Amino acid sequence: MAALPNVLEYPFGVLREGAAFPYKGRWHSEVFGNNNPIILELGCGRGEYTVGLGRLYPDKNFIGIDIKGNRMWTGATTAHREGLDNVRFLRTHIEMLTEFFAHEEVAEIWITFPDPQMKKVRKRLTSVRFLQMYKSILDTDSGVLHLKSDSPFLYTFTKALAEHNGLTIIEDIQDIHNNVPEDSVLRMIRTYYESQWVNRGLTINYLALRLDNLSEASTDPDIEIEHDSYRSYGRQRRSEINLL
């Protein structure tokens, strides 16, 4: 991974000792060499969405973030081979975003098909805990958070959280593959696993939010949400019914 010029890895030990990440606040000037908007994809996996967005929008900068380098290698290799100078990958934990990005340095954040963490609210990438972190690095006036998910549970939770805390819902689209045009960015880029889920009849939902009204007093909604049935099977059972 480290051999690829479009991948950044930084030893956590150095951060723990108080040294700052060298490109924090300098991504535009030192990494991309332009002032184009910076868009993050969190939990980018194989990097398909990061690379796809980079192809579609050469006037924007994209950074795929994941802790698992073996997944990220596919996207990083593809971007390097295609000469996508507006695409980078950062190997780190999402919980450490503020160590790598300065206040208002990021224009948009995409969260694509995250684990819904149905049993642990604090681990959900759209919980208040994480949203407050995102807000600290997003542009105050125009920053947008995108969620694209196959999980009805996470979609319902995130929408309820937005309504509970008075967040602005820019877009709310259920079953995007039947309700948006084929030339929409929501359908033009399809990950490997998204294709599998759609072929099995699962619906993909989308939310776009602004976090301007989020505050230290914001809380996660205290509601009961039906769990995703297709995630309730054990690994062996999911394999037997072709859900892996």
- Is 159 annotated as ligand-binding? no
Mean pLDDT in residue range 151-174? 98
CB atoms within 10 A of CB 179: 14
For residues 1 and 186, which has the higher predicted lDDT (pLDDT)? 186
Angle at 35 between CA 30 and CA 39, to 5 degrees: 90
Q: What is the distance of C-alpha 16 from the center of its chain? A: 25
The answer, yes or no, to whether residue 234 has pLDDT greater than 60, is: no
- Is 194 annotated as ligand-binding? yes
- Is 150 annotated as ligand-binding? yes
Task: Tell me which fold the domain 7-240 belongs to.
Answer: Rossmann fold (3.40.50)
In this prediction, residue 11 carries a pLDDT of 61
* CB contact at 8 A, 42 and 107: no
- Is 9 annotated as ligand-binding? no
Q: What is the distance of C-alpha 20 from the center of its chain? A: 24
- Is 192 annotated as ligand-binding? yes
Strand, coil or helix: what is 87?
strand
- Is 115 annotated as ligand-binding? yes
Please give the Cα distance from 87 to 243 (Å, whole number): 32
Q: Give 50-95 pLDDT, tens digit per residue.
A: 999 999 999 999 999 999 888 899 999 999 999 999 999 999 999 9
- Is 141 annotated as ligand-binding? no
In this prediction, residue 55 carries a pLDDT of 98
In this prediction, residue 185 carries a pLDDT of 93
Q: Kindly indicate the confidence band of residue 232, based on its pLDDT and cuts at 50, 70 and 90.
A: very low
Long-range contacts of 65-68 (CB under 8 A, 24+ apart): 65/40, 65/41, 65/89, 65/90, 65/91, 65/92, 65/94, 65/97, 66/91, 67/91, 67/92, 67/93, 67/94
Catalytically annotated residue among 115, 175, 220, 228: 115
* CB contact at 8 A, 214 and 128: yes
**Hey, where are the domains in the chain?**
7-240
The answer, yes or no, to whether residue 32 has pLDDT greater than 60, is: yes
* CB contact at 8 A, 50 and 58: no
115 is catalytic: yes
